[in-house]
Amino acid sequence: MNRNYQQEMDAYIQEVTETGSKPPRLLLHSCCAPCSSYCIEYLCEFLEITVFYYNPNISESEEYKKRVVEQKRLIECYNSEIVSGSRKGFKISVVEGDYDPQDFFDIAKGYENCPERGERCHRCYELRLRRTAEYMRETGGFDCFATTLTLSPLKDSDKINEIGERLSAEYGVMFLVSDFKKKNGYLRSIELSKEYDLYRQDYCGCVYSKAQRQREKAEKERKQE
């Protein structure tokens, strides 16, 4: 039977909200500012969020710098709105993980030609979620972890949640399942990207996804000629 991860997440939020106790502390792995925009907006009224920006899959250092700057800028904007009262929620923190693209190339070796959503991507999901789970266990400062990766229609949410739950059991920490694309989450992220004028890339980040996107663009242009 297919699981409704959105409903499961909402049930958790309802449960912790009804207890009236201190809000849970969430370590939210983020792939980029545009994807995180909706996820943070959706959760910050109920959870104390620390965004964990860990993405060694972004192969080009200049591209990585652009994305991490935008992530931090978005959080600054949200926090300013929370302080002013124009946005409801708890202030958001951000932690930037280590950036070493070789970590990605090591796990992608032999899977370079896999299409997006294939085995290379699955290994990349695990690389990033594993480091998030490790960081949570190392610091001991969080109640659960989650990822913004399930927002994108190009990502396999079932696989992402499967990996998250497996790592949850391995590291003894709680993984909060999600399917952020539900409730028009992806469309809302596009609206927020326009509202905050966020840098929005058209490929995931690695050289292989970039090459695939360029091939798709070239094919589309060829058909339009």
pLDDT for residue 1: 64
Asked whether the predicted pLDDT for residue 220 surpasses 90, the reply is no
Using alpha carbons, select from 57, 54, 53 the residue that is nearest to residue 104.
57
Q: pTM of the prediction?
A: 0.95
- For the segment 145-173, the average pLDDT, to the nearest whole number, is 96
pLDDT for residue 102: 97
3-class state of residue 180 by DSSP: coil
Asked whether the predicted pLDDT for residue 64 surpasses 80, the reply is yes
Pairing of strands 48-53, 25-30: parallel
- For the segment 95-109, the average pLDDT, to the nearest whole number, is 97
- For the segment 10-39, the average pLDDT, to the nearest whole number, is 94
Q: Answer yes or no: are the C-beta atoms of 204 and 213 closer than 8 Å.
A: no
Q: Kindly list the structural domains of the chain, giving each domain's residue range(s) and its CATH number in brackets, ordered by start.
A: 5-224 (3.40.50.620)
Residue 27 burial (10 A CB sphere; 0-12, 13-18, 19+): buried
- For the segment 204-223, the average pLDDT, to the nearest whole number, is 83
Lowest mean pLDDT among 115-129, 155-169, 206-220: 206-220
